[in-house]
Amino acid sequence: MATVEQAYIRYKAKVEKNIKNDDITTDRGRFVLMFNESQNKFQEIHLQNRKSDDVRYVEKFLVPDKKISTSTVSYDRQDFSLPEKYFDLSSIRIFASKGKCKEVELEYKYELNSENSEEILFDEYNKPSFKWREAPYRVNSNKLSVYNGKDFKVDYILMTYYRYPNQIQLIDPDNPESQFNENIQIEWDNKSLDRILSICAGESDMNENNPRFQLQQARTQK
């Protein structure tokens, strides 16, 4: 894996002539902001296409079966706090109890959206049901809400999710020319890192109205 300093030099090679100032601001503080934004965008693009083979580039950030048992109870749902560094949901398993039946896994889970929530929650064939092992859920406001319709109690969930890649930092965040904090390492292999740096360079060229922008865009493709 490349160090942050090495990644910075590779970025400068993409946006500056002979790695010298080319009227483009390339201070370390700006690079930190651009790199973090670009690597998050790179991961988001691959997760949007997760049914393709490209998802393998972000599989290292997949956290399987994180157990979350603490929740807050609302009128018709239970809210579970999302894990630290949560980026996107992959799948969820829900375990619930009712009467003498304890910690039974619900087989049918489906995600609500703002357009269909009311329809589903009050639909006799789709609303939460312990008998039919059904529960809708929604990710919102840093929580995952499981709707139980007061029909059962959710004991815990097992969440499989993608976490954020390490967000690089300066040793002194208030000094834009501070050294990088190399204790926070870049997690991407060289192939992915090169594409991320091309995204960074493309953003820089776009901001500067540099005609290289289209070339940098092409470099982010396969």
Q: Which sequence spans correspond to the domains of the chain?
A: 4-59+170-219, 60-163
Rounded to two decimals, the pTM is 0.86
Q: How many CB atoms lie within 10 A of CB 157?
A: 24
Please give the Cα distance from 68 to 28 (Å, whole number): 38
Query: What are the tens digits of pLDDT across the range 120-155?
Result: 788 888 899 999 999 999 999 899 999 999 999 999
The answer to whether the CB of 196 falls within 8 A of the CB of 35 is: yes
The answer to whether the CB of 131 falls within 8 A of the CB of 139 is: no
**211 token code pair:** 């005609």
The alpha carbon of 60 is separated from its chain's Cα centroid by a whole number of angstroms, namely 12
pLDDT at 216: 47
Reply yes or no on whether the pLDDT at 213 is more than 50: no
Reply yes or no on whether the pLDDT at 210 is more than 50: no
Please give the Cα distance from 222 to 212 (Å, whole number): 18
Residues with Cβ within 8 Å of 38's Cβ and at least 6 positions away in sequence, in order, are 196, 197, 199, 200, 203
CA angle (142 as vertex; 137, 145 as ends), nearest 5: 20
